[in-house]
Amino acid sequence: MKIEFAAAPLAPSTSPVAYLVEQDKLPGGLDPVVAQGAKSSRFTGKTGQLHEGFVSRDGGVVRMALAGTGEAGAKDRLASFERAGAAITTKFIASGEETVTIDLSDAGLSADQAAAVVLGARLRGWRYDVYRTKLAAEQKASLTTIRIAGAPDGTEAAWKIEAALADGVELTRELVTEPANIIYPESFVERVTKRVEGSGLKVRVLDDAEMGKLGMGALLGVAQGSRRPARLLVLEWNGGTQGTKPTAFVGKGVTFDTGGISIKPAANMEDMKWDMGGAGAVAGAMLAIAGRKAKANVVGICGLVENMPDGNAQRPGDVVTSMSGQTIEVINTDAEGRLVLCDCVTWVQKEYQPTAIVDLATLTGAILISLGHEQAGIFSNDDKLAGQLIAAGEVSGDKLWRMPLGAAYDKLIDSPIADMKNVGPREGGSITAAQFIQRFVDKGTPWAHLDIAGMAWSAKPGATWDKGATGYGVRVLDRFVRDNLEG
């Protein structure tokens, strides 16, 4: 989606024009036909509400829209402006119109609020129709340009920051949307490397032979059933004080998950192309951080494997040795994400000695039972880090709910023949998964695990996304960096 800025007042135009409306405060100078239509359709300006009308202008007919921004004193005010921008895009994306103008001349917004409108409009306009060759004309996206008129001073500068965020969210959505025959460990690396070229990110890739030498038996055990070799993608951003240890983001990147020998039911298995949503979020967040030249040192790690059930696949009951030296009895090969993450966590600690680690993974179905599709679960060994991430989630809209950890849960993954097993009982499944990862975190290192299984993909449209890949995780990581790592 192309974003343009124009000075007000608007020149005569036949393209649609949209205005923002605060709840219960229709603009006084509104065309009477549109005003009456809004009242008749019970449009009041609630957050995300939209009314469309037509007015006569310069001998022609112009489409006009009113987008609600909700109550002025609402707590999540920036989110309200995002939803207003998104509502405008939703209305016009397949309308046949190529350009829509959002007139902010009399909206009384700050630069940040105006940028939020633009962000919502752009994010809601993302679609991935690469493989759709027979769309009917009325289903095809026609809208290519959002023109912002009369924006307050500073909006364009504020938008440059948010545009970098949008780039990151869109990269994540693209990666998560692509099918597994297109995005697999090697092509994930190629796609991301190409997209971050020129961003200032330092890219490093470890192949399966290098990981073998490092002793990453847990990660490679997952990959051994696939013809696709594993990869470890490292994205390094050094925008902070030279010599300061980075914060590490670690993402689970299972590009397709059959469950391995513990094979999943056939129904809905196609959804497992997005089991790399954690790695996708890390890649997108790193692009966003680099794109806005964040004054922080951050490293992103994507552990990339495909979990397949061929004759070389690991079996339930196998014992593997992780890079940390700890041994793992693999009770269920479908509990593979934690096996990938544990070696990634060990590697990043040995290589970077990070000040904190945040991992993201579409890890457990159990988190869906607990939290549904409303927020991700956060598990942490550090109250301060957990609080910072939860606060970042509230501001960004990528919401988090803290879940418990404890010694009683940890005992549930003790193994009779190895240091641990990779699953506990059915009860508390997301908790024992987090306990497993925690066993690989060095003492004294702040760590948080985000189980995003319910958030990476949506079966229905949301405020700023269509159904499908949401881009969840990018915004909470970016906001965390903004609020806590940058001076």
Is the CB of residue 272 less than 8 Å from the CB of residue 363? no
Query: In 3-state terms, what secondary structure has residue 169?
Result: helix
What sign for the dihedral angle of Cα 148, 151, 153, 155? Answer: negative
pLDDT tens, N- to C-terminus, the chain (487 residues): 999 999 865 555 678 999 999 999 988 778 888 889 999 999 999 999 999 998 887 777 888 999 999 998 888 899 999 999 999 999 999 999 999 999 999 899 999 999 999 999 999 999 999 999 999 988 999 999 999 999 999 999 999 999 999 999 999 999 999 999 999 999 999 999 999 999 999 999 999 999 999 999 999 999 999 999 999 999 999 999 999 999 999 999 999 999 999 999 999 999 999 999 999 999 999 999 999 999 999 999 999 999 999 999 999 999 999 999 999 999 999 999 999 999 999 999 999 999 999 999 999 999 999 999 999 999 999 999 999 999 999 999 999 999 999 999 999 999 999 999 999 999 999 999 999 999 999 999 999 999 999 999 999 999 999 999 999 999 999 999 999 999 6
Enumerate the H helices of 263-336 as residue ranges: 277-291
Is the CB of residue 282 less than 8 Å from the CB of residue 251? yes
Ramachandran quadrant class, 237 (left: phi over 0; alpha: psi -120 to 50; beta: rest): beta
What is the CATH architecture assignment of 2-153? 3-Layer(aba) Sandwich (3.40)
Q: Which of 297, 468, 287, 472 is nearest to 377 (CA)?
A: 472
pLDDT recorded at residue 210? 98
Q: What is the DSSP string of 382-439?
A: -HHHHHHHHHHHHHHS--EEE----HHHHGGG--SSSSEES---STTHHHHHHHHHHT
Catalytic residues: 264, 338
Count, in order, helices (H) and strands (E) of the chain: 14, 19
Is the CB of residue 436 less than 8 Å from the CB of residue 422? yes
CATH number, domain 163-484, options 3.40.50.1110, 3.40.920.10, 1.10.10.410, 3.40.630.10? 3.40.630.10
pLDDT recorded at residue 12? 57
- Beta-ladder partners of 297: 238
Q: Read off the amino acid at residue 292.
A: R
Q: Which of 100, 36, 113 is nearest to 64 (CA)?
A: 100
Q: Which of 76, 171, 66 is nearest to 123 (CA)?
A: 171
Extents of the domains making up the chain: 2-153, 163-484
Is the CB of residue 228 less than 8 Å from the CB of residue 185? yes
pLDDT recorded at residue 8? 67
Is the CB of residue 279 less than 8 Å from the CB of residue 359? no
What sign for the dihedral angle of Cα 323, 328, 330, 332? Answer: negative
H, E, C per residue of 430-482:
HHHHHHHHHCCCCCCCCEEEEECCCCCEECCCCCCCCCEECCCCHHHHHHHHH
Query: In 3-state terms, what secondary structure has residue 223?
Result: helix
pLDDT recorded at residue 219? 98
Query: In 3-state terms, what secondary structure has residue 368?
Result: helix
Element (H, E) at 337: helix 337-352
pLDDT recorded at residue 125? 97
What pTM was computed for the model? 0.96
- Domain 2-153 matches domain 163-484 at the CATH topology level: no
State the Cα–Cα distance between residues 17 and 19, nearest whole angstrom.
7
14-18-24 Cα angle (round to 5): 140
State the Cα–Cα distance between residues 380 and 373, nearest whole angstrom.
21
Q: What share of the chain is helix, strand, coil (3-state, %, to 5)?
A: 35, 20, 45
pLDDT recorded at residue 7? 83
Enumerate the H helices of 9-153 as residue ranges: 32-40, 77-92, 111-124
